[in-house]
Chain A
Amino acid sequence: MADGLVSPRIGRPLSDRLDLRLIAEMVEPRSRVLDIGCGDGALLDILVHERAVDGRGIEIDMGEVAAAVAQGLPVIHADADTDLAFYPDGAFDYVILSRTLQATERPREVLAQMLRIGRRAIVSFPNFGHWRVRLALLATGRMPRTEVLDRAWYDTPNIHFCTLTDFFDLCALDGYVVEQWLGVDDEGKRTPWRRNRRLANLFAEQGLFLLRRG
């Protein structure tokens, strides 16, 4: 994986684009991919056009679905919490959940479904263990708000926050093998603390995991 990838801005912050680039690099070309919570299809667009994958998306926001389908991307309106059950076992090489895990009703079941219908799962989520989050809670006594977590507690779709350490624990509990993991910093670049989970849990703004069934 190349460092310092330069990505064109396509109407969204550079960090978003890089985040998607890092995910795209984990995916083997010409594989079968399901992107859960695909939004308007930004990642699918990269995967389909640059890595020639057979890509599908599901998204809960109908406006985003319409935008994605209008771009020619195969996206369906569906809810990750209920609709993954309708896919057969092993239908995909990769099932991707980008920055959506924390917004699901039952993240543990969603992960289990992902690794049922896909041989591998790629998961990214905001790290609630980031030092700025910890400091904000300590200093202000209020729910932290950052660039990634930018909504008030009563207004946020993010209902299941976790830290990188929490996520490692869940993978161990449910028997998932972490094939790769990355901490991603504020700029969306890979952080240099790859070998140290504790440091990553402090300095990574997002976690990015490649999992397979144990």
Chain B
Amino acid sequence: MHQHETFEEGLALDCGTLLRPLDVAYRTYGRLNDSRSNAILLCHALTGDQYVAETHPVTGKAGWWETLVGPGKPIDTDRFFVICANVLGGCMGSTGPASEMTDANGAKQGRPWGTLFPPVTIRDMVRAQAMLVERLGIPKLFAVIGGSMGGMQVLEWAALYPTRVFAAIPIATAAWHSAQNIAFHEIGRQAVNADPDFHGGEYWRHGTIPARGLAVARMTAHITYLSEQALTRKFGRRLRTGPMLTFDKDLFEVESYLQYQGSTFVQRFDANAYLTITRAMDFFDLAAEYGGSHGGTLGEAFRNSPVRFCVISFSSDWLFPTAMSREIVRALNAAAANVSFVEITSDKGHDAFLLDEPDLFRTVSGFLKGAAERWSHG
């Protein structure tokens, strides 16, 4: 149903499991040029997917980055060949917990993976993307760009494949997931677990989905994507009905907004995929992958990196605050890497990277323009 590539040889995961075969679902926009030098890979966030710049086939809504990606947009599909793949462990066509389970020989087991799906890491996700990029015949990406969890993948790309990426734009992200972020994720996971319809992850056996638990997980997460100012501006203390306090009815507009966010989410997202991907984010610690404890030797991940970086944060983002981006910038400086860094003033919180932010557009298009000058010089 979703456009995808199948890799019969499979992918050896960080946990030791060979996931075979491997499906990677993806979408592309624009045209690959003859020299195969105009490819940009976009990495989506936790609940995003490959439908970046077109109407979503499930929700019918606009693509999640149509503000930034398209003809004449900052990521100009008239110039660039833009690729976005559904992450490994996701639920939009790439191999994930809802896919049919296979053994190490690739033999089908006649049931979905469900909770038996092996734990995946951000690095596994990036390896799967790299297989796709190779399959598409692209020796070196002009740029890898992504926000939030997508930004983690961007950092991982630069660390893992420094000669296969020319420029990297990690946006509203961090080189490790903080204790606070892990804590919020755990609330979400516990909400899913507590839903009787979850059935210990075997809801597919019972023909149910843990809709209430997953909706609560989404509601909690959604608050972390916004800022206090954004919520106040959008809803304030506005009431849905008269100013009469009742025990069970929604009183405030912000309540029904969150419930709407939760209910639409469960229609398009698999609960086990949500658990798998949040675990991958929590486990992410780029410095640890390069022999250090977090923070200490992040620079090692980028030692002698030829990649040009543009790190972007948003002033009101408290989920991935500017301080986290600054850690990345300092590590890149310690590695004497080529780095730009902009903190964009916005009161829209973490979500700002998905919204209409002219400063973000200017920064991305300017950085890509400067990088393209260098790229054409060889």
Contacts and interface: CB of A to CB of B under 8 A. Distances in A.
Contact of B370 (A73, A76, A77): A73
Interface string A33-73: 00000000000000000000010100000100110011111
A24 interface: no
B256 interface: no
Majority secondary structure of chain A interface residues (helix, strand, loop or mixed):
mixed
A110 to B, nearest CB: 16
A153 interface: no
A154 interface: no
Scoring A62, A72, A73, A88 by chain B CB atoms within 10 A of each residue's CB, the highest score goes to A72
Q: How large is the interface on A (under 10, 10 to 19, 20 to 34, 35 or more residues)?
A: 20 to 34
Given A69-B367, A70-B366, A62 B334 contact: no
Contacts of B329: 76, 78
Contact of B330 (A65, A70, A72, A83): A83
Nearest to B308: A74
A89 to B, nearest CB: 10
B334 A66 contact: no
B324 interface: no
A70 B335 CA distance: 24
Nearest to A76: B341
Contacts of B368: 72
B14 interface: no
B370 A74 contact: yes
Contacts of A66: 342, 344, 359, 362-363
Interface in B197-247: none
B194 interface: no
Interface in B319-367: 329-330, 333-336, 338-345, 359, 362-363, 365-367
A65 B342 contact: yes
A26 interface: no
Interface string A88-116: 10010000000000000000000000000
B268 interface: no
A5 B362 CA distance: 33
A75 interface: yes
B333 A86 contact: yes
A77 B338 contact: no
Contact of B362 (A70, A76, A83, A87): A70
Contacts of B336: 87-88, 91
B310 to A, nearest CB: 7
Given A66-B344, A69-B367, A74 B362 contact: no
Given A66-B359, A69-B363, A74-B370, A56 B338 contact: yes
Contacts of B308: 74
Contacts of B363: 66, 69-70
Contacts, number: 66
B160 interface: no
Contacts of B340: 69, 73-76
Contacts of A75: 340-341
B373 interface: yes
Given A70-B362, A87-B334, A78 B341 contact: yes
B2 interface: no
Contact of A54 (B338, B341, B367, B369): B338
A56 B336 CA distance: 10
Contacts of A74: 308, 338-340, 370
A75 B341 CA distance: 6
Contact of B342 (A72, A77, A83, A87): A77
Nearest to B345: A62
Scoring B310, B344, B366 by chain A CB atoms within 10 A of each residue's CB, the highest score goes to B366
B334 A86 contact: yes
B130 interface: no
B2 to A, nearest CB: 35
A70 B310 CA distance: 11
B13 interface: no
Nearest to A92: B336
B258 interface: no
A69 B339 CA distance: 10
A71 B363 CA distance: 8
A22 to B, nearest CB: 25
Scoring A56, A74, A86 by chain B CB atoms within 10 A of each residue's CB, the highest score goes to A74
Contacts of A56: 338-339
A72 B370 contact: yes
Contacts of A86: 330, 333-334
Contacts of B366: 69-72
A71 B370 contact: yes
B288 interface: no
B371 A72 contact: yes
Given A74-B308, A87-B334, A69 B369 contact: no
A86 B328 CA distance: 11
B342 A69 contact: yes
Nearest to B312: A69
Question: 10 closest A-B pairs (Cβ-Cβ)?
Answer: A72-B370, A70-B366, A76-B341, A86-B330, A70-B362, A91-B336, A69-B340, A86-B333, A72-B369, A74-B340
Interface of B: 308, 310-311, 329-330, 333-336, 338-345, 359, 362-363, 365-371, 373
